[in-house]
Amino acid sequence: MSTVDRIDCERVRAATHRRLDGDALSAADLALLDAHLATCAACRTALSELETIQQALRAIPVPSFPSHDLPRVWARTSRGTPSVRLTSRRAVLRVAAAVGGLALALGGLWWSLPSRPEMPVASAAEIRRAADEARFVLGVAANALARTERAATDGVLVRGVGAALDRTSIRWSGAAPARPVKGGDGV
Amino acid sequence: MVSRSGHASTLVLALGLVLASAPDRAQTKPDSPGLVDGTRLVELVGEDSVRLRVSLGGSILRAIAAGSDDSDLQSLVTGLESIYALILDLGDPEHAARARKGARDLEAELRRKGWEELAFVQEEGSTVRVLIRSQGERVRGLVAILIDTSDDEPALVFANVAGTLDLGRLQELGAGLNVPGLKDLQLPERPSPQRR
């Protein structure tokens, strides 16, 4: 193949690409293309391969793309506004160390104060209400204690000891005469 | 692989966070030996059966001790860590049965944990249980469980007082606290259910 022929082949293949891409060719280019292809087997083969590839590409189905995903895809593919991004574990730990150090410093400052100010935990109204509630609960507890005490007194002394006393008598020592207990037999 | 400086950073961060949250933890003292969780009784009968719930933590009790105009109450709440009470409606017989069993189970569990039963009284459709938790010579907690099904408004009352408690003082001031017997509790006039 001569240098002139090689130059013609290059021009023809460039024109072939443009034609396959749908570009409009001038009449002179079309004439050159047809004349060259009629005599050059290599360029005919190249053209045939390009047409095969183009047909294969056109045969690939184009998937439909849901419109509502566009913003998400756009967000993932667009660069967006430049910002500080923590891309490495080391960077995250540096920031964590800084935050922790700051918390430690503030905590130390807080505890080192000569007299820490009391946190305002409740208003006067809240304290009054809480006092009522505390009085109520403590009263319930006191009431429960009192009931158990009464039950113990009634159950043990009145029913137990009292019943036993009813069945016996007490003899007083010394000058005092024996005094029968209520219900006793006076022995 | 995390470097040594990475471990140190994590430790510093954790320490900072713990330090930052320390005041809140100190106020609640969940490890108080006298603290008893009464919510399990609610689970037995359902939240709809709660007539009243009072829960006062350490911070509000300290506020009462410092700011109340009732000197008797001030002396009682000083040293307390928590006051909790619950009144459950036992109108449903099934709820009443569950509550009785729940009270028995709770009492058994507390005894296993070292609580002492101060008294158990059963009379005329009502039962009263009083348990205390001691540490040395000090009473550190009290639980009172009262179940009354003898009238037309059957109820369970659960009260837990956690902290250093003077029982003698509590009994001494009990009358002054102006709380009637369980049967005479004026429930509608009591504070509305709430948590603090």
Does any domain span residue A67? Answer: no
pLDDT tens sequence across B83-110: 999 999 998 889 889 998 999 999 999 9
List, for residues A107-128, the tens digit of each pLDDT value: 666 665 555 555 555 778 888 8
Most B CBs within 10 Å, among A104, A135, A148, to test the B interface: A135
Query: By the CB < 8 Å criterion, does A86 face chain B?
Result: no
Provide mean pLDDT across the span B135-148.
90
Chain A residue with Cα closest to B129: A144
**Residue A97 belongs to some domain of the structure:** no
Residues A137, B118: C-beta atoms closer than 8 Å? no
Is pLDDT larger for residue B42 or for residue A16?
Answer: B42
Residue A73 contacts B where some CB pair is shorter than 8 Å: no
The band of B169, judged by pLDDT with boundaries at 50, 70 and 90, is confident
* Spatial distance between the Cα atoms of B93 and A150, rounded to a whole number of angstroms: 29
Residue A111 within any structural domain of the chain = no
- Interface check for A107 against chain B (CB to CB < 8 A): the answer is yes
Tokens of A179: 């005094």
Q: Find the range with the poorest average confidence among A28-37, A91-100, A155-164, B131-140.
A: A155-164
Beta-bridged to residue B134, according to DSSP, are B139
Domain membership of residue A7 (yes or no) is: yes
What are the helix (H) ranges across chain B? 4-28, 39-45, 58-67, 71-77, 93-112, 167-174
Residue B143: pLDDT band by 50, 70, 90 thresholds?
very high
Q: Is A136 on the interface with B (CB under 8 A)?
A: yes
State the residue for tokens 């184009």: A62
Instruction: Label residue B29 by pLDDT band (50, 70, 90).
Output: low
Among A121, A135, A147, whose Cβ lies nearest the Cβ of B63? A121
How many separate domains does chain A show? 2
pLDDT above 70 for A13: yes
Domain that holds residue A138: 125-173+180-184
- For residue B187, name the pLDDT band (cuts at 50, 70, 90): very low
| Residue B37 pLDDT | 87
User: With contact defined as beta carbons under 8 Å apart, do B139 and B166 qualify?
Assistant: yes
Q: CA A134, CA A142: separation in Å to the nearest integer?
A: 12
Quote the CA–CA distance of B20 and B18 in Å, as a whole number: 5
Please tell me if residue A151 touches chain B, with a CB cutoff of 8 Å: yes
Which of A90, A93, A128 to substitute to test the interface with B, most B CBs within 10 Å?
A93
Q: Specify whether the CB–CB gap between B133 and B115 falls below 8 A.
A: yes
Residue A94 in domain: no
Position A159, amino acid = R
Does this model's pTM top 0.90? My answer is no
* Rounded Cα–Cα distance for residues B56 and B161 (Å): 10
Q: Is A23 in the B-facing interface, judged by CB distances under 8 Å?
A: no
CB contact set of A132 (below 8 Å; sequence gap of 6+): B191
What does the domain layout of chain B look like in residue ranges?
A: 1-28, 31-189
Taking the C-alpha atoms of residue A11 and residue A36, their distance in angstroms, rounded to an integer, is 10
How close, in Å, is residue A181 to chain B by CA atoms?
A: 29
Considering the domain boundaries, does residue A157 fall inside one?
yes
Within-domain flag for A110: no
What tokens were used for B85?
């009470």
Tokens linked to A167 = 């069945």
For the stretch B44-62, what's the b/e string if a residue is b when 16 or more beta carbons lie within 10 angstroms of its beta carbon? bbeeebbbbbbbbbbbbbb
Nearest to A8 by CA among A53, A46, A54, A51: A46
**A22 belongs to a structural domain:** yes
Nearest to A43, CA basis, from A33, A56, A53: A33
